[in-house]
Chain A
Amino acid sequence: MKPYHSLIFEISQSDRSAVDLPESDVDTIELNDKFPSHLLRETEAELPEVPELQLIRHYTALSNKNYGVDSGFYPLGSCTMKYNPKLNEDVARLEGFSRIHPYQPEETIQGALELLYQLQEDLAVISGMDAVTLQPSAGAQGEWTGLMIAKNYHRQNGENRSKVLVPDSAHGTNPASAAVAGFETVTIPSNANGRVDVEALKEHVDHDTAALMLTNPSTLGLFEKDIIEIADIVHQAGGLLYYDGANANAILGKTTPGKMGFDIVHLNLHKTFTTPHGGGGPGAGPVGVVKELTPYLPVPRITKEGDQYRFDTEEPLSIGRVKGYYGNFGILVRAYTYIRTMGPEGLRQVSESAVLHANYLKKRLEPYFVAPYPQICKHEFVLSGINQKKLGVRTLDIAKRLLDFGYHPPTIYFPLNVEEALMIEPTETETKETLDAFADTMIQIAKEIEENPMMVLEAPHTTVIGRLDETKASRKPILRYTKHE
């Protein structure tokens, strides 16, 4: 094993260092005189001691083990892993954006406030909503914010509605957010065509329904053709229609959730608007609402009076602040940069290309994998590995084998209503050559499953670490590093 494949502590050797500090020119103090003895260490801190070059090689090697869109094709369904233009990064690093403080007086940050205001306006147009908050820091927080708006709206109308309806193909966060917001969730089944079963919806909608949460197109990549009827059913019962914007890449610039009858929308800037997927880092899930719900939006909102932009906190019906300060500002700068560089025509081209790419890839793979919903899809599609399962190979194995070819696997085993699911979203930013190379690899794997299944069952073969013992990791997790002498 090369030393830079070890932990930094394992390559440490005493008396080596990356930095030589000069002799101290201030008097040394005795720690015992300044701190209670029980707060002082009894042994030296075991900090790693490595020369600078070894340090650089260690962390460079670690960074190279990451896989991202900049490394290769990443067709992770429903995650919209598209290229994040580097221009976004340049703009977010401009001093006027990166070196301001949230507590600066409004008059000294007019440019930043103008950007936030314009982004609110742009997202309102894109989503067909009347007003937008930029505060929520992730899609799931956007869902929760939207549901709290719905709850407060119903309460203001003297109703304490307790149910949120969620299709069986919904993202797992939908029922989770509903539960956190204090609602009971009711699952609406899909029909044979993979779309919301309208008759089942009618059976479940009643005057206790606060909202129906819907992704359109669905996680199966299918457009809900009955959306207008669905919206009418929910509205007639006094409920609200919530749009999960996870799949907004499919409709960008072509239509809006507002036109479909939605009342509340969250957008994932890290999916549709090319901000980095956080991996736990900063994100943004702006929420848009129709005029009737505007008073319930979080405060402060960015408003414009004359030619001045300001934080508006004066809204008695607001659900309050949902995020420290005003959202993740740097992420919002990146999304705004993307929207402005693309323009309306560019954004329309995004959804056209995303849909074209998904259908091209689907057509190439259908002869080798079962396509449970063979109709034309939107920006993503779902295949099933049920035929491969009969040959003893599961979708999990296909995903592992893809690692050998340098691809991030598609989303697997989701949606839950498709057996052995492979959910593929190529995005608009890939070339035809990349799509063809991926299709060729999938076809090769399909053939391997028939001719040499062990090649797939024992994959990956070319990664630094082979197939992980997930069972052992689950049963005997090692959660703390122990130094071996």
Chain B
Amino acid sequence: MMITMTKEAKNQLQSLTLAEHLLPRIDAHVAGGCGLAVNFLFIFDQPRKLDTLYYSHGMAIQVDYVTQQYLYNTSVTVDYNEEDGFCAITEFTFDGNSCS
């Protein structure tokens, strides 16, 4: 997995003072029911066991085991804008279905 960062994201990250126990993370967010939909978030979070650290512009970004499974061999771009905040832009999202 290759992580790149836009200039806006880099500047915003460098301007933040994070609490000591928090690090940036790219995280698979799963919504389910009868099917699964997976999209990817850029959040600030505590380390999890079995995390892998990736570096972009000298900044460490955590990725857990499940998220890596979804994003291996892909590139992820971290972006920032005033309206949405940080976003992890991936090559795909993964939608499921639902039923009654």
Answer whether residue B66 sits at the interface, using C-beta atoms and an 8 A cutoff: yes
CB pair B30 A453 closer than 8 Å: no
B-facing residues in A134-185 (Cβ within 8 Å): 138-140, 143, 171-173, 176
Complex: A246 Cα to B99 Cα, angstroms: 11
Residues of B near A396 (CB, < 8 A) are: 30, 36, 66
- Can you report 18 A-B residue pairs in the complex whose CB atoms are below 8 A from each other? A139-B100, A140-B99, A140-B100, A172-B33, A173-B98, A176-B98, A389-B64, A390-B46, A390-B49, A391-B50, A394-B64, A413-B33, A413-B36, A470-B70, A470-B94, A471-B92, A474-B92, A475-B92
B-facing residues in A463-485 (Cβ within 8 Å): 470-471, 474-475
Type the 1/0 row for B6-31, where 1 means its CB is closer than 8 Å to any CB of A. Answer: 00000000000000000000001011
Answer whether residue B32 sits at the interface, using C-beta atoms and an 8 A cutoff: yes
Besides the known contacts A268-B100, A412-B36, 6 further A-B residue pairs in the complex with CB atoms under 8 A apart: A244-B100, A246-B100, A389-B48, A392-B65, A396-B30, A470-B70
| Least Cβ–Cβ distance between B92 and chain A, in angstroms | 6
Chain A interface size band reads 20 to 34
Which of B51, B91, B100 has most A Cβ within 10 Å? B100
Nearest CB in chain B to that of A394: its residue: B66
- Give the interface of A toward B (CB within 8 A): 79, 138-140, 143, 171-173, 176, 244, 246, 268, 285, 389-397, 411-414, 416, 421, 453, 457, 470-471, 474-475
Which of B33, B64, B98 has most A Cβ within 10 Å? B33
Residues of B near A244 (CB, < 8 A) are: 100
Chain B interface size band reads 20 to 34
CB pair B99 A392 closer than 8 Å: no
Answer whether residue B69 sits at the interface, using C-beta atoms and an 8 A cutoff: yes
Complex: A173 Cα to B35 Cα, angstroms: 13
Complex: A416 Cα to B28 Cα, angstroms: 14
CB pair A471 B72 closer than 8 Å: yes
Residues of B near A389 (CB, < 8 A) are: 48, 64
Complex: A449 Cα to B1 Cα, angstroms: 25
CB pair B33 A411 closer than 8 Å: yes
CB pair B100 A143 closer than 8 Å: yes
Complex: A176 Cα to B100 Cα, angstroms: 11
**Option from B31, B48, B65, B91 in Cβ contact (under 8 Å) with A413:** B31
Nearest CB in chain B to that of A421: its residue: B32
| Least Cβ–Cβ distance between A164 and chain B, in angstroms | 15
**Option from B33, B64, B98 in Cβ contact (under 8 Å) with A392:** B64
Complex: A394 Cα to B36 Cα, angstroms: 14
Nearest CB in chain B to that of A246: its residue: B100
| Least Cβ–Cβ distance between A383 and chain B, in angstroms | 14
Residues of B near A138 (CB, < 8 A) are: 100
Complex: A285 Cα to B99 Cα, angstroms: 13
A-facing residues in B32-66 (Cβ within 8 Å): 32-34, 36, 46, 48-51, 64-66
Type the 1/0 row for B85-100, where 1 means its CB is closer than 8 Å to any CB of A. Answer: 0000001101000111
Complex: A414 Cα to B99 Cα, angstroms: 12
CB pair B50 A171 closer than 8 Å: no
CB pair B69 A414 closer than 8 Å: no
Residues of A near B51 (CB, < 8 A) are: 392
| Least Cβ–Cβ distance between B25 and chain A, in angstroms | 11
Nearest CB in chain A to that of B67: its residue: A394
Q: A138-B100, A394-B64, A457-B65 are in contact. Are A471 and B50 (CB under 8 A)?
A: no
CB pair A171 B100 closer than 8 Å: yes
**Option from B49, B94, B98 in Cβ contact (under 8 Å) with A453:** B49
Complex: A411 Cα to B35 Cα, angstroms: 9
Complex: A170 Cα to B65 Cα, angstroms: 30
Complex: A285 Cα to B98 Cα, angstroms: 16
**Option from A79, A171, A412 in Cβ contact (under 8 Å) with B32:** A412
Complex: A407 Cα to B86 Cα, angstroms: 39
The 3 closest A-B pairs by CB, nearest first: A413-B32, A392-B50, A139-B100
CB pair B50 A453 closer than 8 Å: yes
CB pair B33 A414 closer than 8 Å: yes
Residues of B near A139 (CB, < 8 A) are: 100
Q: A173-B98, A268-B100, A471-B69 are in contact. Are A391 and B48 (CB under 8 A)?
A: yes
